[in-house]
Amino acid sequence: MQLWMESGMKIRIALERCKGHQACVRSAPELFFIGEDGFARLRAGEDVAPEQAENALLAYDNCPEFAIEIVP
């Protein structure tokens, strides 16, 4: 695992690009949920714990709208 993943990273959702596919929820249900408006939300804010980093990257890779941003 890369050093920046071990030391924590941040994720953001660009809601203007989100289309509600739920691929992020399937990849990382501990990080994402779908809000009442049908678009993705973060369960616990931007900070990703080191043990959640792998799923965060999976969600990033699987979002077809490139709506997930990862900030090292």
Pick from 9, 13, 31, 53: which binds ligand SF4 (CB under 6 A)? 13
Strands 47-48 and 9-13 turn out to be: antiparallel
How buried is 21 (Cβ within 10 angstroms: 0-12 exposed, 13-18 middle, 19+ buried)? Answer: middle
Q: How far is the CB of 24 from ligand SF4 (least distance, A)?
A: 3
Nearer to ligand SF4, 6 or 26 (CB): 26
Q: How far is the CB of 9 from ligand SF4 (least distance, A)?
A: 16
Pick from 9, 40, 48, 56: which binds ligand SF4 (CB under 6 A)? 40
Judge whether 54 and 30 are in contact, CB under 8 Å: no
Q: Is 28 in the site for ligand SF4 (CB under 6 A)?
A: no
